[in-house]
Structure 1
Amino acid sequence: MPQTAQDGTAEDTAATPPKAATTAEDQLVREGDIAGDYLERLLDVLDFDGDIDLDVEAGRAIVSIDGGDDLNKLVGDRGAVLEALQELTRLAVQQESGNRSRLMLDIAGWRQGRRDELTELGTRTANEVLESGESARLRPMTPFERKVVHDAVARVKGVSSESEGEEPRRQVVVFRNG
C-alpha cells in the first residue's frame, strides 16, 4: 500500500530500491577479518608469535600466519594440526557470520610448499602414466591435496584423474585417456 510522504504525496515503497547487498568479495573480506581475530586470540592464548595476513583469492578468503618460531607446531605431522585449526576457524566464522565458510588457512608457508610438492607429483605421475599406459593410484590425500593433484594432471594432455574411495582414505587415480 502506498505510504504518504511528508509533503502529502503518495510514495510507492516497492519502487524504492533496497540497500545494496553486500558483494561476495565484501563477505569474504569479513570472513577473513573474523578468522584473523579468532586466530589472533588463539595465538595469544598459546603464547605464540605470528603475523596474520588476510587475502581473497579465487572466491575464497585466505588467512596466513607467518613469522613465529613455534608455528610449525601448529602445522603438525603432514598438516594434521593445520587442517584441524582450519576447521575450527571455519566454525568460528560460521558462528559469527551465520554463513558456511570455505576459507583456507596456511601456517608458516606449509600449504604453499605442499602445493608445490603436489603439483610436481601430479605432473610426474601423469607423465609416467602417459609413457607406461598403466594407471597409477596415489596414497590417500586430503581434499586440498587431491584438488592440487587433479589440477596438475589436467594440464598434461592424454591423461585424466579421478578420486576414488571414502574419506579419509580417498585417493587420486591417474589413467590414460582412450
Structure 2
Amino acid sequence: MTDTAGSTTEQRAVATDDQLEQEGDIAADFLEGLLDIADIDGDLALDVRTGRAYVSVEQDGDSDGSLALLSDPDTVQALQELTRIAVQNKTGRFSRLILDVGGSRLTRQQQLEALVERAIARLDDGASQASLPAMSSYERKLVHDIAAERGLVSESYGEGHDRHTVIRRA
C-alpha cells in the first residue's frame, strides 16, 4: 500500500524515541566525519519530534562562515539523503531523518510560504487550482500544512521526482 507521500506502509512504521535518538547519534557521527573531511566547522544539535530525528548543523562561534557553502536547499537535500542512507545501513531501518544546515529549513519554509501565497494570488485571479513545482515529501508536507492554515485544500500528484502539490479553494 502507498500513502500520499509515496512511501510504502512498511517503511513508515513508527520508530520509538530510543530508535530515533540512535538515528540522530549515527547521523551526527556521519556528518562530523563529512565536516572534518571538508574542513568545515559546525556544531551539531539533535532532537526528536513528531516521529522524526532532527539533526541541525549550526555555525560554531569561531567559524569562518564556510558552513554557508552547505546551506543551499539542493545541497541540504543531497546531504540529508546521504545521511539517511548511512543511518539505514547501520540500523537496517528506513530513516525519515530531517537535516538542517545553517537554518536552511527555516529559509526553505519561508520560500514555500511565499510560493503558496503566489498560488493564492492565482486562485484570487480566477484559477480553479494552482500547481506547485515538484518537491520532496517533507516539503510537500510543509505545503499541505501551510495550505490548510490558510483554509485551502491541497493534494499531491505524480510519482517520484515528479510528485508535486496542487492547491485549490475548499
Coarse TM-score class (shorter-chain normalised): 0.7 to 0.9
CA distance in 2, matches of 1:92, 1:70: 24
* Rg comparison, structure with higher value: 1
Post-superposition Cα deviations, 1:11-53, rounded to whole Å, max 9, x if no partner, equal xxxxxxxxxxxx8111111110111011111111111100011
Larger RCO of the pair (alpha carbons < 8 Å, separation 6+): 2
The one of 78, 95, 106 equivalent to 2:100 is 106
Instruction: Please state if 1:163 is matched with 2:156.
Output: yes
CA distance in 2, matches of 1:49, 1:134: 48
With normalisation by structure 1, the TM-score equals 0.76
Instruction: Please state if 1:57 is matched with 2:53.
Output: no
2:76 match:
82
2:86 match:
92
**Does the Cα contact within 8 Å between 2:109 and 2:142 map onto a contact in 1?**
yes
Partner secondary structure for residue 173 of structure 1: strand
2:3 match:
none
Instruction: Please state if 1:136 is matched with 2:127.
Output: no
Partner secondary structure for residue 161 of structure 2: coil
Q: Which amino acid aligns with 1:114?
A: R
**Does the Cα contact within 8 Å between 2:119 and 2:167 map onto a contact in 1?**
yes
Q: Which amino acid aligns with 1:118?
A: L
Q: CA RMSD in A?
A: 2.0
Identity %: 45
Displacement, 1:140? 2.3
2:68 match:
72
Displacement, 1:107? 0.3
Displacement, 1:97? 1.6
Which ranges in structure 2 are unaligned for 5 or more consecutive residues?
Answer: 1-14
Partner secondary structure for residue 44 of structure 1: helix
Higher mean alpha-carbon deviation, 89-98 vs 121-130, is at 121-130
CA distance in 2, matches of 1:35, 1:151: 27
CA distance in 2, matches of 1:127, 1:151: 18
Instruction: Please state if 1:175 is matched with 2:168.
Output: yes
CA distance in 1, matches of 2:145, 2:159: 20
CA distance in 2, matches of 1:131, 1:153: 17
Which ranges in structure 1 are unaligned for 5 or more consecutive residues?
Answer: 1-22
CA distance in 2, matches of 1:25, 1:156: 32
Partner secondary structure for residue 134 of structure 2: coil
Partner secondary structure for residue 54 of structure 2: strand
